[in-house]
Amino acid sequence: GKTGTPEKPLSDLGLLSYRSYWSQTILEILMGLKSESGERPQITINEISEITSIKKEDVISTLQYLNLINYYKVRRHAQGIDEIWMQALS
């Protein structure tokens, strides 16, 4: 699917509305994660973006706003950001 984002810059009210929607949508995905072999469940920013159709940058900013990014690392290549991994807090 295609991801999208609202036209920027957002007004304060617009940001509040979108952040509320993004937060609810992303939290539903994270709450539905199943752990394997007793480890914390894991999902990538890309996977969240693909499932929700929310642009990666908006996923990251929402997770930061919610204080849910526990650990992430960025691998850089010539094309820029290759993958951003996020480990959801359990």
Q: Give the residue numbers annotated as catalytic, written as ranges.
A: 7
For residue 26, what is the enclosing H or E element?
helix 12-31
Burial environment of residue 45 by CB neighbours within 10 A (0 to 12, 13 to 18, 19 or more): buried
